[in-house]
Amino acid sequence: MKTKNIFLGSMLFGMMSFGTSCGGDLNVPEKNEDHSMHSHQSKDASEMQEATGKVFFTNVKTGDTLTNPVALVYGVEGMEVHPAGEIIEGTGHHHLLIGLDSVPAGQVVPADKNHIHYGGGQIADTLDLPSGNVKLSLQFADGMHASYGNKMSHTIEVFVK
């Protein structure tokens, strides 16, 4: 098993911050968006626009050993990241599901401690995860937080020290 320590996470976050300050387009949050007051409605899966592509973690994979705080970077191919608030064809935003599998297509991704929303269009975060074996699912959803389903989800299992 490959060990990734806090030094690597700090280096990665530092590189992301440098890229942003030098005109890069990484959107790293200072704080996750609070969607607890949102009242979005789920949709029938047949009402969802077609999701093409895939989502993935760019810097961690199944079997990695991580140390808190954990820096995570999210990727998407075939669609574009766009902040929540409006539905634009071919776009969406990331959600991190901790200890959970994908959200079915059309269902609104809940907002709680295990469903972290990146509705600002963020593609990276540094956070503390529970210790031990942890399942992480990256879920892409439309501008109203309706999940694109399993097709636009990616799940890994890591060990957190």
- Return the residue matching tokens 């902040």: 83
- How far apart are the C-alpha atoms of 1 and 72, rounded to whole Å? 18
Strand 65-66 to 153-160 pairing: parallel
Q: List the domains of the chain with CATH numbers.
A: 6-31+47-160 (2.60.40.10)
Cα 7 to Cα 12, 47, 65, 100, 124: the distances in Å are: 9, 45, 13, 28, 17
Whole-model pTM: value is 0.74
Per-residue pLDDT tens digits of the chain, which is 161 residues long: 444 333 333 334 333 333 333 333 444 444 444 444 444 666 565 666 677 899 999 999 999 999 999 999 999 999 999 999 999 999 999 999 999 999 999 999 999 999 999 999 999 999 999 999 999 999 999 999 999 999 999 999 999 99
Q: What's the one-letter identity of residue 140? A: F
